[in-house]
Structure 1
Amino acid sequence: EKAQLLTTFLWLRLFWRNEFLVWDPDECDGVSRISLPVKELWSPDIIVYEFVDDDVSQACPYVYVNHTGRIRWDRMLRLVSACNLEIFSFPFDVQNCTFTFGSYMHTIRDVRLSPALTFNEMSINSKQYLEASGEWELVDLLGETSILKFGIDEWDIITFWVVIKRRPVLYVVNLLIPSSFLMLIDILSFYLPPHSVDRASFKMTLILGYTVFLLIMNDLLPSTANGTPIIGIYFSVCLALMVISLLETVIITNVLHHSSMKYQEIPNWVRVIVLKHIANLICYRWPEDVRPPEKPQEDKPESLNNSTGPWVVQHVSQTPERHPNTNGGTISLPELQLICQYLRDLRAHLNSMQKESELQGQWCHVGYILDYLLFRIYLLLITCYAMVIITMWCIWISQ
């Protein structure tokens, strides 16, 4: 199939009449039929015009001669012929291969050809002999007699059209069903949490599996076939969709895990487009304890006692003052200032950690929203692609 060659085993039975080999059985002890070496008699040089290989079939060295001069020669042929394959619908394809029988040297002035049986009888007999299971199924056997003209010479020829259909079960089980499962797994992989699971490695494994399918299909299909099979388009587009899915995962992973995102404020255009419009478009469900972030406000300093005014430390005299503590001792003012400084640093650190956590959470929601959006776009592409494949298949069926 790779070289577009059809190997056929034929049983060829030739009949012709030799008026010089006639006798009366009554004068020859009732002998009405004898066998003679074929090399000792003239035999028609019938060949198959589509033959492309050496004839390695087993030779039959004898012929049967009837007392009326009718000669029968049975030959077993292993025929390797060229067959132009139409593989658009592979593996549901139906092939039509041609066999043309004719004389190599003798024109119609010397040899005339005609079928011994009707073409319908030949088709029925061939189907009975080919009932065994195999990759191909014989659909029909058609034929006609015609005259081949070349210059001023004419040859009698008999043309047979062998219509065969491939049994697709093997290819459906080994190619189509596993590839459909891989596409289904690729779709379901979008439900993996992108922030805690290495989704990219999982998708790379699926792409490698699809590459194996492409290599297997490349070994099955003819290298010089006319056109591209629909299954080849199917695998190529599926591989392209998987690559697009991987690129989407890379983008989402970059948004969720980029270290600089933790310290950058979300731009206003991202806040408006992604967190507002796109989130409403895809019906994004915000957690109950989280609300869509609004436009950031300027930070205002707060006092230690939760008042709105700034914390002010007034200048005092250089003479350290003593203040009584609860234990009856005294605490100097510099010690109070040092404690206040420690509290301000601690509060600033806590505010920084809280702001970093809020920014990280906001960027996570940006990544989740984009992930949901790209997932729905991916589903839309797969749906459109499936409709195109079904439409192409229906057009081929109708033709």
Structure 2
Amino acid sequence: MSDHSVTHPGIAAETIDEAPVAVFDGHNDTLLKLELEARGGRLLDFAGGAGGIDIDLPRARASGFAGGLFAMYTPSRPERYEAGRPRRDEETRYDPVDQPAALAFTLALFARMRRLAEAAPDRLAICLSAAEARAAMAAGRLAMVPHVEGAECIDPDLNALEVLHAAGLRSLGLVWSRPNQFGHGAPMARQDEPEPGEGLTEAGRRLVARAEELGIMVDLSHLNPAGFWEVAKMATKPLVASHSNAHALSPNARNLTDRQLDAIAESGGLVGLNFHVAFLRPDCATDRDTPLIQMLRHLDHLIERLGEDGVALGSDYDGCELPAEIGDVTGLPRLIAAMRQAGYGEALIAKIARENWLAALERAAG
């Protein structure tokens, strides 16, 4: 339980310290955005500064964004994206993706990540452990930990899992919000009473067990309740949801109920606050006019259920609609300032900003 107030009258986050707090974030889709833009003929300069993207190296350094889990996600129809104009066709967005196509796309994202690191070795590092991430951040290098969102790229025999782990995979989301050969995703829609749905497949249970053996963190964000409870029953490591919020405050099916949060807490796990406005707002509307206080309300609720060691950030930069006050990665200092004004102490801010994620990676690897 935190010792700060759960009411936050008059937050004025425009007062920002000159030295930003270092943040290790639990989820972004920046690699996907870079890849899709490149396929459409628009090369974004991640190292030098890029418009049309939430994170690049100069803005990350200026804002305190020191590292994170960089997601590799395969869209259902990547050919429907045009440079500078991503199109989300709701009729095809949730279509299943076959494994060979997903593996090819995932390898393209892995290769793009490696090329980014090779192009700026003094400013960026691919990190395969919490210790490597700490060292990179201490040296002023952006720490990128490879994460796959949605396991479509993995075959039921798990051969691809072994190879991806050897390539550096350290965190795996079993599903995105669509079914795959391992389980079923939660819809991104309001559900006042979340529907359980179908659970894991037999291959999904094998995937969880082998990922834990390899030290790959299993991410429960996007998984439906039936799958969540199957993982909770069989898991030997703490439960993690990299970018999900509190269903009690925003009844989107993508958010976690108090019962789920309590199970994560009992396991010694972690939840990363998602910045997507529809997962923050009580009305679940995609409205960027969503105040920072709503993010603080979710943080308070998560802290109340999970404790101060179980809450972190999972922004979903480059993959969601952000509150206007956040805007892009440069909004992180405004969120930190709001946390201070709400009574969060510096030790708690450090835990939420980075330490809890690094501890979670250590637990998953152990």
Q: TM (normalized to structure 2)?
A: 0.22
* Structure possessing the higher relative contact order (Cα contacts under 8 Å, 6 or more residues apart): 2
Query: Hey, which of these two has a bigger chunk of strand by percent?
Result: 1
Q: TM (normalized to structure 1)?
A: 0.21
